[in-house]
Amino acid sequence: MRVLELYSGIGGMHIAFKESTVKHEVVAAVEINGVATDVYKYNFPNTLTLNRVIESFSPDYVCSLNANVWSLCPPCQPFTRLGKRMCEADNRSSSFFHVLDLISILKPAGIILENVKGFEHSEPWRRLIEVLNSCDYEYRQFLLSPLQFGIPNCRLRFYLLARLRSSSWNSNFKMGKSESIDLRPPIDAPMLPGCQCTSCSGVISHIEHTDDNFTEYIQFCRPISEFLLVPSDSSKELYFLDEKCLQRYFRVLDIVRSCDKKTRCFTKGYSKRLEGTGSVFQTSMENEDSFANWFKKYLRSTIEKLTSDYFDDATFFSSSWLIKTSEKITNFYEANKEDEQAVLQYAKLLKLRFFHSREVANMMCFPKSFGTLS
């Protein structure tokens, strides 16, 4: 298998090919972002990296690379739920239409595409399906989240696998020409050798339906604690939320603890924007006793202000309440939002910090050996 990576980023798809154990060679990686290209080169120095716009590639040049599988991870911003959803009107979609022209001409034997949820309702998706049908590809589409594989991160993504009908590939993996989208990991896909994820191990094979929050899968996910930096790694600087951030954004934060099994999707704006860009980590669990003492004292002085709709006396003073889930933190905020000082003191005691980039990489399953530029 000779792979051409288009929109290669920092090399996530390269790692996926490597860990699949399928015999392959990445013949070239194409990425317009200079920083991403540098990180890719750092980790895969023997792979040809091309820091160029895709529109500059002619059919003859791409043909000369002799790649029979193309991986595509086009820019997600035109389709993202936090973006403007301009789809084909976004200039960042123009390179993808050029890729579709190249597919029509060169007809690679296999295509792998990844994008955000929302791509499957766009004009670029419709054009892609049109090209695949006209060129006689069979294909299969998915919307999958890491939560379905035991990873505590909700990052719903669209995947498409396509195979040219006339290719010589033999596989038990069923494909066709249906525009339906699978919402579960494929049970007919071959298991990865040595993989212990909940899909390959068959742990979640009985789950037939799930809600938008993947509630049924969360119980099978690994805890966040398994993805954190080890305490002895003092070389990694951790960034705590300051008082200004807490005052302004506390009400919209998704706060998680080491024992939790779900984090929100981390986006490019993480740590720069606070709303909708990813979870923050609560570090105060190790000081639970001191927090509990303060909290009980505060509650005794303010209990007459709170309504039974939020709490009752038994709930207040139970140890389970003092395990501060996001829902209960939200309830506390709603019941006390007029008392800004109390809310701020409460927020400060949680000792909230951003996840380190290495921790985010761990939850995206980048190997420990994967390095970044200093």
CA–CA dist 188, 175 (Å, integer): 11
User: Order of strands, edge to edge, in the sheet holding 25-30?
Assistant: 49-50, 25-30, 2-6, 69-72, 110-116, 157-164, 137-144, 181-182
| CB contact at 8 A, 136 and 164 | yes
CA–CA dist 138, 119 (Å, integer): 19
**One of 63, 73, 76, 154 is an active-site residue; which one?**
76
Among candidate residues 187, 8, 216, 215, the one with its CA nearest the CA of residue 112: 8
Beta-sheet pairing, 137-144 with 157-164: antiparallel
Residues 6+ apart with CB under 8 A from 291: 284, 322, 349
Cα within 13 Å of Cα(373), Cβ side: 10
Rounded to 10 degrees, the C-alpha dihedral 76/3/11/159 comes to 40
Active site includes 76?
Answer: yes
| CB contact at 8 A, 157 and 117 | yes
CA–CA dist 121, 118 (Å, integer): 6
Please give the DSSP secondary-structure letter assigned to residue 107.
-
CA–CA dist 112, 11 (Å, integer): 14
Please give the DSSP secondary-structure letter assigned to residue 161.
E
* Packed helices 340-349 and 288-302: angle between N→C axes, nearest 10 degrees: 170
Alpha helices by DSSP H, listed for the chain, are 12-20, 34-43, 59-64, 94-106, 123-134, 215-218, 243-249, 288-302, 313-316, 326-336, 340-349, 357-363
Show which residues are catalytic.
Answer: 76
